[in-house]
Structure 1
């Protein structure tokens, strides 16, 4: 299986493990009844599956039936004709992201900068602190709902990873990785709150999450980079450019 196909298949498995997945022809929609967020409720195609305009129309209808915004994320190399079909149906490009990959032989683990420590959030209070810090770092409200906490608890219970950076009683940031599928896992949500940036913490978090995946038997970790700062962080700890993912949505 090609690298693109492995990454794409891992997304298919991740979405199919959502609380209420919906299969529509070659697509799966990862529906989560606890939130309408398009960043959580989106679709992706099975790698290499043939796709028609009728399949896209059925997908849109399924999104409407689920009361969710039609949206997709996928590896472009696994469905080269899909972008045109989506544009014809009224979708627009939301973003194009490069994905990077890391293997056990390429991972570099920097020291955790003082005075921070990295730990696993193992209580609802700590999970809420991690989610709040991530939200704040990404410009959202620094709060975590009970549904948010339950979502990360499910991730951990299924074999995923959550790591938080703490100093004293403060959560300075953190990151996560989804439950592995056939030796592949996505690292996501790497975040450092503004007062704690430019100290090497993002790289330490990324490397720690990745090392935990490899210790559990994962052989391929991947993530997305969307700016120069994140590129520098990820390449310094051993991630290498691998392919492209496309986000498309219907407004």
Structure 2
């Protein structure tokens, strides 16, 4: 690996380690660290331990997975292949299925104008907005429907399915969203029309001058309209305007990575996401 990419990947490793720590406790299991959320919210994952003197072993994976089952957590393990190249074979030998996702960073000089991708308006969520709870619920519902039908092809899931997936936020979840938007550690965007409502959504998480764009999703019925590119570009431009020095994301497939290439991202590596392999009868 050339030195510039190594520097970028080192910064991403520190980001991955830092993101969960303000809401989760870190348990070390050999070469792995398991992040356990202390309150309600989306569960975290295990990762190779930052600064460990060895890569996670098969025994480490067995230990951390047993602990995840004990706690009722998903058996999820994430890492960057270029940092831990031997872990792919170890994870597969443990019976884990591994998604190899293109890991991409933004070229600040190449980021596109959202208006060039679609005529659907994209707006950022504001901490002081009176309808923040409804906006966050819409963001989550769009993501739930969109990720249930992976890829970029058009499909049947649309506004009706989004509305059926809407779940209200409790007070603690809304307070967390508002606080994170206010302090700049979380950004959210919605692409919507007055007649159709929210059609695409996305968010970004930031620690220091590094941010990850994640959860970009489009309702299947609204695909092929440039919405994912517009949401991604809107988030990227907002991050850059606020002084973020490094913006990155992981694409769900090579096909999806082509959307991000249009926005100004380039591939620097592979993000691996492992979970128990699905056995086909």
Give the TM-score normalised by the residue count of structure 1: 0.83
2:147 is aligned to 138
- For 1:3 and 1:98, locate their aligned partners in 2 and report how far apart those are by CA, in whole Å: 15
Alignment of 1:121-136 (within 5 A): 122=129, 123-136=132-145
Alignment of 1:1-251 (within 5 A): 2-32=7-37, 33-34=39-40, 40-47=43-50, 49=52, 50-53=54-57, 54-88=59-93, 90-111=94-115, 113-120=118-125, 122=129, 123-139=132-148, 142-146=165-169, 149-150=173-174, 152-153=177-178, 155-158=180-183, 159-168=185-194, 170-178=197-205, 180-250=206-276
Query: How many residue pairs end up in the alignment?
Result: 246
Specify every segment of 5 or more residues in structure 2 that has no aligned partner in the other structure, as ranges: 1-5, 150-163
Asked whether the 8 Å contact 2:88–2:98 carries over to 1, the reply is no
Q: CA deviation at 1:125?
A: 1.4
Change in CA separation of 1:205 and 1:52 when aligned onto 2, cut-off 3 Å: closer
- For 1:117 and 1:102, locate their aligned partners in 2 and report how far apart those are by CA, in whole Å: 20
- For 1:182 and 1:98, locate their aligned partners in 2 and report how far apart those are by CA, in whole Å: 23
- For 2:60 and 2:85, locate their aligned partners in 1 and report how far apart those are by CA, in whole Å: 15
Change in CA separation of 1:81 and 1:94 when aligned onto 2, cut-off 3 Å: closer
- For 1:119 and 1:69, locate their aligned partners in 2 and report how far apart those are by CA, in whole Å: 31
- For 1:149 and 1:166, locate their aligned partners in 2 and report how far apart those are by CA, in whole Å: 23
- Of stretches 224-233 and 139-148 in structure 1, the one that deviates more from structure 2 is 139-148
Give the TM-score normalised by the residue count of structure 2: 0.75
